[in-house]
């Protein structure tokens, strides 16, 4: 059965004048019925442009079907590398996560997942993004102020950084065009990257993942919230100097009991499908405190990207914890940052 929103999405997409792929079953795909549409949320897929670079929208199956721990659809609409629109769903999608206001949540926000990462946006794709959003805000009678990057809607602030262009510049350009018209030769205005330690630019950040239990003598690779996998992902360039900064809280260790924490860093090149993982990083020891209480662990690591291609690869960050001598303990991330020169 088709969701009620299907006819309005269809009308808006057609009015955009863009090339469209209507993904089979889109009218009845969704988690539930949407409420009043109050926000258009702008995402990118975090897929390096080197990944299957001859494919228009390689992330389609993930957006349609979801991933481990997060069922699809993950957006109502997709946007390919040359500006082709993929209509995926008409019901609620799992794209917003924890948001700053109810109007920005999955029940009230249409999500667009554009293929790309923290890299330069092709002009054709950026202009198509403008045309698609213009058609949607006109259809749902929204102001340009309701076209918001995920980085502007997420909570806590800084948890997400997509889409990787300036929100104000995008909305200014949006205000100058009409539905169905082609924008002027508008170039994406990449936002200034926030600066971190040593003047390095912040690439990705997250915080407050779920608590994970570790039995005595057990070793686990911590799950992340963002992808619900055992790794954080980040796009990198060959030769970049990176700073990985991980902070954990460990509860349940008593005085004299210890846990060990260390990193594994993997690099993967989509073009060659080759990669490797480094295991030889030093371990940090967390000690139980007299009278109980939480142990806080910080693991800063500076290293240089080795095999990433000139225009991008994947950095895969794993955090491993071993409960050496304690009873069952509980671990959670409190902060995850990756910075680069």
Domains in the chain, ordered, with CATH? Answer: 6-174 (3.40.80.10), 197-340 (2.60.120)
Which residue bears the tokens 């092709």? 122
Cis peptide before 163 (omega within 30 of 0): yes
Nearest Cα neighbor of 100 from 150, 51, 64 is 150
265, β-bridge pairs: 278, 317
Residue 184 and residue 197 in contact, taking contact as beta carbons nearer than 8 Å: no
Beta carbons within 8 Å of 195's beta carbon, 6+ residues apart: 201, 202
* Residues linked to residue 299 through DSSP beta bridges, in sequence order: 246
Q: What is the pLDDT of residues 138-179, one digit of tens each?
A: 999 999 999 999 989 988 877 788 888 889 999 999 999 888
The H or E element that residue 303 is part of is strand 295-304
Give me the pLDDT at residue 196, please: 47
pLDDT at 140: 96
Tell me if 16 sits within 8 A of 132, measured CB to CB.
yes
Lowest-confidence pick of 157-161, 173-177, 224-228, 299-303: 224-228
Q: What is the mean pLDDT of the chain?
A: 84
More confident residue, 189 or 55: 55
CA 190/CA 166 separation, integer angstroms: 5
Nearest of 26, 40, 1, 21 to residue 90 by alpha carbon: 26
From 53-57, 93-97, 291-295, the region with the lowest mean pLDDT: 291-295
Q: Using alpha carbons only, how large is the chain's radius of gyration in Å?
A: 21
Q: Render pLDDT for 11-67 as a digit per residue (tens, 0 to 9).
A: 999 999 999 999 999 999 999 999 999 999 999 988 877 778 789 999 999 999 998
């Amino acid at each position: 059965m088709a969701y009620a929103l299907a006819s309005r999405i269809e009308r808006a997409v057609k009015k955009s004048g863009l090339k469209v792929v209507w993904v089979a079953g889109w009218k009845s795909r969704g988690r539930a019925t949407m409420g009043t549409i109050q926000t258009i949320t702008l995402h990118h897929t975090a897929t390096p442009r080197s990944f299957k670079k001859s494919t228009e929208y390689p992330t389609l199956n993930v957006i349609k079907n979801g991933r481990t721990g997060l069922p699809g659809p993950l957006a109502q609409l997709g946007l390919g590398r040359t500006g082709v629109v993929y209509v995926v769903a008409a019901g609620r999608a799992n794209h917003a996560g924890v948001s700053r206001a109810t109007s920005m949540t999955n029940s009230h926000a249409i999500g667009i997942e554009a293929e790309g990462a923290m890299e330069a946006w092709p002009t054709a794709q950026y202009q198509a993004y403008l045309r698609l959003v213009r058609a949607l805000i006109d259809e749902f009678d929204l102001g340009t102020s309701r076209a918001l990057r995920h980085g502007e809607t997420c909570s806590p602030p800084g948890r997400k950084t997509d889409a990787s262009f300036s929100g104000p510049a995008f909305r200014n350009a949006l205000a100058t065009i009409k539905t169905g018209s082609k924008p002027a030769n508008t170039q994406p205005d990449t936002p200034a990257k926030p600066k971190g330690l040593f003047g390095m630019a912040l690439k990705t950040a997250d915080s407050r993942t779920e608590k994970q239990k570790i039995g005595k003598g057990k070793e686990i690779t911590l799950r992340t919230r963002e992808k619900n996998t055992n790794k954080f992902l980040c796009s990198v360039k060959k030769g970049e100097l990176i700073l990985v900064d991980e902070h954990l809280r460990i509860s349940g260790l008593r005085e004299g009991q210890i846990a060990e924490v260390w990193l594994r860093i993997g690099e993967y090149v989509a073009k060659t499908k080759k990669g490797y993982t480094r295991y030889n990083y030093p371990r940090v020891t967390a000690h139980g405190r007299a009278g109980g209480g939480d142990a806080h662990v910080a693991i800063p690591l500076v290293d240089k990207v080795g095999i990433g291609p000139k225009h991008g690869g994947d950095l895969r960050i794993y955090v491993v914890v071993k409960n050496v001598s304690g009873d069952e303990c509980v671990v959670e991330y409190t902060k995850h940052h990756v910075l680069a020169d």
